[in-house]
Amino acid sequence: MAQKAMSQEELDVRNAAMKARQADAAAAQAALQIAELDLEYSRISAPISGRISNNTIDIGNLIQAGGGQVLTTIVKQQPVFFVFDLSESSYLKYKRQRNAVGDTNLVDQSWTVQVRLLDEQEFLHNGQVDFVDTRFDQNTGTIRLRALFESNANGLLLPGSFGRVRLPAAHPGPVLLIPDEAVMSDMAQKIVMVVDQDNLVQPRKVELGPLHQGLRVIRSGLQQSDRVITKGLLRVRPGVKVTPQLADSSESAS
C-alpha cells in the first residue's frame, strides 16, 4: 500500500516555515494595532467652537510630533471678553460712587458695561464686569478690568478690535433729556434758551451729560417744567418776547 511519508528533515523545514509565517502574521497584527493607535492620536479636535482662520499645514505636509507647529487658529465669537484699563483717579472716583450707593463689589452682573466701536456714535453693546485686577500697574498707573459680552450675534465684536467703554457708576434712573441741537456754546460754557412765564427768552447755563439716541442728558441747570427752544435758535435773543409753540416729543427727538 502506498503511504504519504516525508523525511524528518523535510518535516523540520516545513515546521520552521510555518512558525516563520505565524511570526510574520503576529508582527503584521501588531503593526496594524500601532497604525490604528496612531490614527486615533492623529485625529485633531478643537477644544472650543468658533471661527477658524486659514490653515498653515496642508494635507500631505510632513510635520513632527511635539514640534509646536500651529495648524490654524480658532477664536470664540460668543461670548467675547473686552479688556480695558482704568486710571487710578477714574478707578477711585468710580469706586467711591459705587460705595456711596451701597455696592462695594465691583464684579457684579447687575452693572452694565457699555462699548462703542470705532464707527459707532452710540454705546450699543452691553456687557458685565467679570474681573478686576488686584493691583495697579506702577508703570502705567492703571488697573485692568474685563467685561463679558454674552451676546455677539451680529459678529461685530472681534478679537483685537478697539472701542470706547462706558462704565456707569450708578443704576439707571430718570434723567432730563433735550434735543442735542438745542445746546449752544458760549465760550467755554454750554447754554440753552428757555421761554419764561412772560414768554421772554432767557439763557440757561447747563451741565451736559452723555448723548443718548440724539438726546442730550442735562445734569443741572434745567427743571422739568422749563420750556426749551429747540428750533429757530439763530433768530432769538435774550429778552426777546416770543410766541412759543409746543413741539411733539417725538418730533423734537428726531
User: Is residue 74 in a domain?
Assistant: no
Q: Of 8-12, 20-24, 79-83, 113-117, where does mean pLDDT reach its minimum?
A: 8-12
User: Is residue 8 in a domain?
Assistant: no
Residue 254 is predicted with a pLDDT of: 41
Q: Of 110-124, 136-150, 166-180, 218-232, where does mean pLDDT reach its minimum?
A: 166-180
Residue 94 sits in a domain whose CATH number is 2.40.30.170
pLDDT tens-digit series, residues 187-219? 888 999 999 989 999 999 999 887 877 888 898
> Which has more confidence, 5 or 84?
84
Distance from C-alpha of 176 to C-alpha of 105, rounded to nearest angstrom = 29
Full domain range(s) for residue 112: 80-166
Residues 86 and 132 occupy one common structural domain: yes
Q: 170 CB contacts (<8 Å, ≥6 apart)?
A: 97, 101
Region 147-164 average pLDDT: 85
Residues 181 and 104 occupy one common structural domain: no
pLDDT tens-digit series, residues 235-254? 888 888 888 888 766 555 44
> Which has more confidence, 96 or 64?
96
User: Is residue 96 in a domain?
Assistant: yes
pLDDT tens-digit series, residues 78-112? 888 999 999 999 888 888 877 766 666 766 656 67
Residue that terminates a domain, selected from 145, 166, 187: 166
**Location of C-alpha cell 467652537:** 49
Q: Which of 78, 74, 91, 147 is nearest to 116 (CA)?
A: 147
Residue 67 is predicted with a pLDDT of: 65
Region 26-52 average pLDDT: 84
State yes or no: pLDDT of 148 exceeds 70: yes
Is residue 87 within 8 Å of residue 137, measured between CB atoms? no
User: Is residue 21 in a domain?
Assistant: no
Region 1-20 average pLDDT: 78
0.95 exceeded by pTM: no
Radius of gyration of the chain measured on its C-alpha atoms: 37
User: Is residue 12 in a domain?
Assistant: no
Residue 240 is predicted with a pLDDT of: 87
Residues 193 and 123 occupy one common structural domain: no
Note the maximum CA span of the chain: 146
User: Is residue 158 in a domain?
Assistant: yes
Residues 150 and 184 occupy one common structural domain: no
Residue 228 C-alpha cell reads as 426749551
**Percent of the chain having pLDDT more than 90?**
21
Residue 137 is predicted with a pLDDT of: 93
Distance from C-alpha of 145 to C-alpha of 133, rounded to nearest angstrom = 6
Residue that terminates a domain, selected from 134, 166, 198: 166
Residue 196 sits in a domain whose CATH number is 2.40.420.20
Distance from C-alpha of 154 to C-alpha of 151, rounded to nearest angstrom = 9
DSSP-assigned beta bridge partners for residue 86: 143
Residues 120 and 185 occupy one common structural domain: no
Into how many domains does the chain fold? 2
Region 220-235 average pLDDT: 88
